[in-house]
Amino acid sequence: MPKKRKKLNPAVKRQIVEEAGNKCANPGCANWRVHIHHIKHWAIYESDEPGILVAVYPSCHDAIHHGSLEFSNDILYLWKAIKRPAKPNFTHVYIEPSIEIKLLTGSISISTKNDNVTVFELSEYNKLSFRILDGDIALINLNICDLKGVEKIKISDNNVRIHDADTLLFEKVPGHVKISTKNVYSFIPPEFASKMRVHQPGYLANDDLILLEILVMKPGHVRVNGCWSDSNRAVVITDKSISFMTHNLQRPLSLIGEGEASVLMYAGPIDRAMFGLEDSDAGALKV
């Protein structure tokens, strides 16, 4: 009669999951939900020794046991030996393809027929863009720096990486990424923060500053919120608006639409000059 298998000790499971970087140990898989696989089968060895356990996503677990392409034990031990940071600092955002591409910024959707789009460029260090690949895939690119100009967040073709896991809260599930901080004034001057608090009551609730939030809503449709600032100007995107600020503006200049149905068809750069945020007024919209 087969011996009844005991439930894995929760402390051991936690150890194995943390060892894998709180995701699937497969470096080709970004999923965070995992099973614990016995590299040496429990039915044969009846062992829960941590050295033979590895955390893998359920689909990867199925592939290990039943896949048409073999994952050998040598490969599994190789995955297990990978040294990963204690806190997550990387993820990939998958966007299901669509012939219609929309980037929802605040309450306005931005769409385009161009291949490369700079949605806005606040400065050399803070800019958001996306591009179209083969006519149907939105690839988001973004740089966010603190007020000292030190890069803290970088997105390159939907690959999201943070450089400061100790001060940035990095939350992620498939299709949804949120990066926030309590170090508000490292990323936005107090004057701009105060203006946003007056302009949108509830903004910076509990002193949580959302630096970046990406949500895949539909195929080809992505919502982006966040805060990008330097010492002289700032752009803040919330669910309600895109707001632009300078020291000369008494209150934020905001663009407000009606959501996904409010579409700005992109034909040129949406940058700081368009909203009068250039250091020089030449060619700028007067505000």
Q: Give the chain's mean pLDDT.
A: 85
**Would you give the DSSP letter of residue 147?**
T
d(CA 32, CA 61): 13
Task: Give how many domains the chain has, as a whole number.
Answer: 2
For residue 213, what pLDDT is reported? Answer: 95
| Residue 137 predicted with pLDDT over 50 | yes
d(CA 28, CA 226): 29
Of 242, 176, 236, 184, give the one whose Cα is nearest residue 209: 184
Are residues 213 and 271 both part of a single domain? yes
For residue 267, what pLDDT is reported? Answer: 63
| Residue 214 predicted with pLDDT over 50 | yes
Q: Is residue 68 part of a domain?
A: yes
Structure tokens at 254: 């905001």
pLDDT tens per residue, range 233-283? 898 999 999 898 999 989 998 888 888 888 877 665 555 554 444 544 332
Q: Which residue has the higher pLDDT, 159 or 88?
A: 159
Are residues 125 and 201 both part of a single domain? yes
Q: Which residue has the higher pLDDT, 275 or 26?
A: 26
Of 66, 58, 57, 67, give the one whose Cα is nearest residue 30: 57
Are residues 113 and 165 both part of a single domain? yes
Are residues 76 and 176 both part of a single domain? no
Q: Is residue 239 part of a domain?
A: yes
Are residues 73 and 124 both part of a single domain? no
Are residues 104 and 54 both part of a single domain? no
Q: Is residue 287 part of a domain?
A: no
Label residue 124 by pLDDT band (50, 70, 90).
low
Are residues 145 and 246 both part of a single domain? yes
Non-local CB neighbours of 177 within 8 Å, separated by 6+ positions: 91, 93, 160, 170, 171, 212, 213, 214
For 126, the domain range is 91-275
pLDDT tens per residue, range 74-96? 999 999 999 988 777 888 898 99
Three-class SS state of 63: helix
CB 101 within 8 A of CB 111: yes
Domain end position, chosen among 40, 58, 84: 84
C-alpha pair distances (Å), 1 with each of 4, 41, 43: 9, 17, 12
Are residues 55 and 127 both part of a single domain? no
Are residues 24 and 110 both part of a single domain? no
d(CA 145, CA 152): 5
Q: Is residue 280 part of a domain?
A: no
Are residues 197 and 98 both part of a single domain? yes
Are residues 130 and 216 both part of a single domain? yes
Q: Which residue has the higher pLDDT, 152 or 258?
A: 152
Are residues 115 and 199 both part of a single domain? yes
Domain end position, chosen among 57, 84, 111: 84
Average pLDDT over residues 130-147: 84
